[in-house]
Chains A and B, each alone.
Chain A
């Protein structure tokens, strides 16, 4: 894919990201941080494409290690966020 096209996507995503976060109450700072952190584990998708090439080379091993690390980020991130938010709900009720 063309670098220019990818850079367009990058620019638009950054603007969306800036616009998304407005007037967040202080209690939600940590869960929001944690939730966004889980999304940054999306690098698992890139790792999958490297780990599944079937070539037993260095890139393959690095990809597999990256899948493991990114999975920790994704699974742990979403679960921790959910736990935090579940606690808020109980307090509010």
Chain B
């Protein structure tokens, strides 16, 4: 299939995603909407497989087989009551996939723009992965569902953010030195843990919704890194829709988003006084 036909297939897939999300917003049409967006995904995957750059299929098929079986089994077997943590877990895998795509794109180009998008996909993908794992652990009570806090947490988090910024800059300046890449990945993973542990279990659905938005943004950044339209469009859609949904969920609880995200830090203050 020629490049133009593939791009047109991506356009149709994007339209199906948009319609699907729209239909998911009302009870009568929600199931149809989900099906529609699944058809869009199938179309995008088939189009990607027909690309002339694809010369070898065994690794792709192996990946599909492994991921498909695990995903299908998990979706079938999960208890109805544990749906939210299942979503969190799936979401984490999506974030990790974006991280890997971003890291793998390093070989293709060393233009600054590409490097910045690689940094973003690694950073957002990494924090989505570990953040989702922590959210999953809290909801399924594999780890304590309460907010985990320690003194000096703010300082530690600020240091991590500074270290991320520093390693991101160094990575862009010296892309051939892989140590910066590994440091960036490690810090992103650490940051995901640190961002979610101070939030209590009851607020987890909001956090998962936010992480869902992040995984969209990670896919979007990965799309910039590998120059792929459908990743950018679908990723941005999920990112924006996820943010709005997060806000709606916060409003439903009569809270603001910052109140949910930083409630843990606030309670440190109140217990101290």
A residues with a Cβ closer than 8 A to B are 1, 3, 6, 9-10, 13-18, 20-54, 57-89, 92
Residue numbers in B under 8 Å from A62 (CB-CB): 100-101, 103-104
B38 touching A38 by the CB < 8 A rule?
yes
Residue of A nearest to B86 (CB): A80
10 A-B residue pairs with Cβ-Cβ distance under 8 Å, sorted by A, are A17-B21, A17-B240, A32-B241, A34-B83, A37-B215, A40-B216, A42-B234, A43-B94, A64-B60, A66-B101
With A51-B63, A76-B74 already in contact, the answer to whether A21 and B25 are too (CB < 8 A) is yes
A52 touching B24 by the CB < 8 A rule?
no
Main secondary structure of the interface of B (DSSP, over half): helix
Residue numbers in A under 8 Å from B45 (CB-CB): 44-45, 48
With A45-B44, A51-B59, A78-B38 already in contact, the answer to whether A40 and B235 are too (CB < 8 A) is yes
Residue of B nearest to A52 (CB): B54
Residue numbers in B under 8 Å from A51 (CB-CB): 59-60, 63
B242 touching A33 by the CB < 8 A rule?
yes
- B5 in contact (CB, < 8 A): no
Q: CA A61 – CA B62 in complex, angstroms?
A: 11
B77 to chain A, nearest CB (A): 11
Listed residue (A53, A62, A69) with the most chain B CB atoms within 10 angstroms of its CB: A69
A45 to chain B, nearest CB (A): 4
Q: CA A67 – CA B54 in complex, angstroms?
A: 14
B229 touching A79 by the CB < 8 A rule?
no
Residues facing A in B1-41 (CB within 8 A) are: 14, 17-18, 20-22, 24-27, 30-31, 33-35, 37-38, 41
Instruction: Classify chain B: how many residues form its interface, as a range.
Output: 35 or more
A45 touching B238 by the CB < 8 A rule?
no
With A43-B219, A52-B54, A82-B34 already in contact, the answer to whether A76 and B70 are too (CB < 8 A) is yes
B114 to chain A, nearest CB (A): 9
Binary per-residue interface labels of chain B (81-116) against chain A in the complex, 1 for a CB within 8 Å, 0 otherwise: 001101100110110111011011111100001000
A24 touching B248 by the CB < 8 A rule?
yes
B residues with a Cβ closer than 8 A to A are 14, 17-18, 20-22, 24-27, 30-31, 33-35, 37-38, 41, 44-45, 47-49, 51, 53-57, 59-60, 62-64, 66-68, 70-72, 74-76, 78, 80, 83-84, 86-87, 90-91, 93-94, 96-98, 100-101, 103-108, 113, 205, 208-209, 212, 215-216, 218-220, 222-245, 248-249, 252
Residue numbers in B under 8 Å from A24 (CB-CB): 25-26, 245, 248
B59 to chain A, nearest CB (A): 4
Q: CA A59 – CA B34 in complex, angstroms?
A: 32
- In order of increasing CB-CB distance, the 9 nearest A-B pairs are A71-B67, A17-B240, A67-B63, A76-B71, A79-B75, A75-B71, A52-B54, A13-B236, A73-B94
Residue numbers in A under 8 Å from B57 (CB-CB): 52
A30 to chain B, nearest CB (A): 6
With A29-B245, A42-B41 already in contact, the answer to whether A72 and B90 are too (CB < 8 A) is yes
Residue numbers in B under 8 Å from A86 (CB-CB): 31
Q: CA A24 – CA B241 in complex, angstroms?
A: 11
Residue of A nearest to B129 (CB): A69
B83 touching A84 by the CB < 8 A rule?
yes
Which of B101, B230, B240, B241 makes the CB contact (< 8 A) with A50?
B101
